[in-house]
Amino acid sequence: MTDAGQVLILAGRFDPTCDLVVEELDRRAVPVFRADMAEFPLSLTLAANLSGNLSGNRWHGTLKNDRRTLDIASVRSVYYRRPTRPRFPQGMSSQARKVAETEARWGFGGLLSALPCRWLPPPGKAADAEYKPLQLRIAAEAGLSVPRTLITNDPDAARDFAAGTGGPVVYKPFFHVRGTVHGQTVAVYANVVDPDDLSHPDIATTAHLFQEWVPKAHEVRQTAVDGRIFAAEIHADSDAGHIDWRSDYDSHTYKICEPPADVAAGVLRVLDCLGLPYGAFDFVVTPDGAWRFLEVNPSGQYGFIEQATGLPITAAICDYLEGTGS
């Protein structure tokens, strides 16, 4: 361990990817305090103070749950891994709950953001990076090849776009769409659109993202951590998986690969522009070998890639959190 201090991990209680990081930090004897925002305020207690002078210009205090106590001044880094929202007493009125949620966000969340340490990823920058229109623009500026894309709520514009591509068109949600239908968990993935559906009046009800279909030899997940890139081919052997590999994990096979130098450089430029130390990038590789950028997830899953290929992604994340990386 090179520096004193603890790693604060903010994550849901059941998160196998986060478990990999905790296990590796434990192996390195790096102290860890793990909590979920859902524990606040019922079982996670905060007390912090700032003296307000030059000799005491940092927040001091504690964060406590039923297992451990964290000295907040000792935090060397934060791993922000999709924590769930704070939970409040059941008897609170809706008005009081709304105020409490707002105060928790700006008070507890604001204190965390004030800690002078490294984050993976920084929450504000990660939230900005979730905007697909921003991702696509920055990727194109970074020199990556991006599919032709339309954002619209105009059915006529959608039909014109499809006609102009000269081939199939894909619809993608801007953000994760998941829910429960008839007791079953369902999700909306990318799917190829029937041209006749582009006349549907529902297109006018909100923003839609359409892209030209990019022919696939296979896809690649590039996980970038603090300037290091770990790339793996994803071969999906089902029709659904061929359109969007996330829809059918059971059909996958994986193979470690080396991205072209210009693609790797573009990936690092994207992260630099977004202000992120970590990103999970998805690419299509066409039958003629061209790499086409699809998206980047600032807190994307990587455990399934590491498990299948042995790529040392967890170690790279822990190097960053421990402070032994760049």
- Give pLDDT tens digits for 98-148: 999 999 999 999 999 999 999 999 988 999 999 999 999 999 999 999 999
Whole domain around residue 193: which residue ranges?
A: 148-212
Over residues 145-203, the pLDDT tens digits come to: 999 999 999 999 999 999 998 888 998 888 776 666 566 665 667 788 888 788 888 88
Do 236 and 179 belong together in one domain?
no
Closest CA to 216 of 294, 156, 120, 149: 294
Do 219 and 312 belong together in one domain?
yes
Do 66 and 155 belong together in one domain?
no
Cis peptide leading into 121, omega within 30 of 0?
yes
pLDDT at 190: 76
Read off the pTM: 0.87
Do 220 and 207 belong together in one domain?
no
Do 175 and 106 belong together in one domain?
no
What CATH code is carried by the domain that includes residue 196? 3.30.1490.20
Closest CA to 273 of 151, 118, 140: 140
Q: Which of the residue ranges 93-107, 112-126, 226-240, 306-320 would you say has the lowest mean pLDDT?
A: 226-240
More confident residue, 248 or 84: 84
Do 185 and 280 belong together in one domain?
no
Do 14 and 95 belong together in one domain?
yes
Do 206 and 229 belong together in one domain?
no
* Domain total in the chain: 3
Do 188 and 260 belong together in one domain?
no
Do 90 and 163 belong together in one domain?
no
Over residues 16-53, the pLDDT tens digits come to: 999 999 999 999 999 999 999 999 999 999 999 987 76
pLDDT at 1: 37
Looking at the domain assignment, is residue 139 inside a domain? no
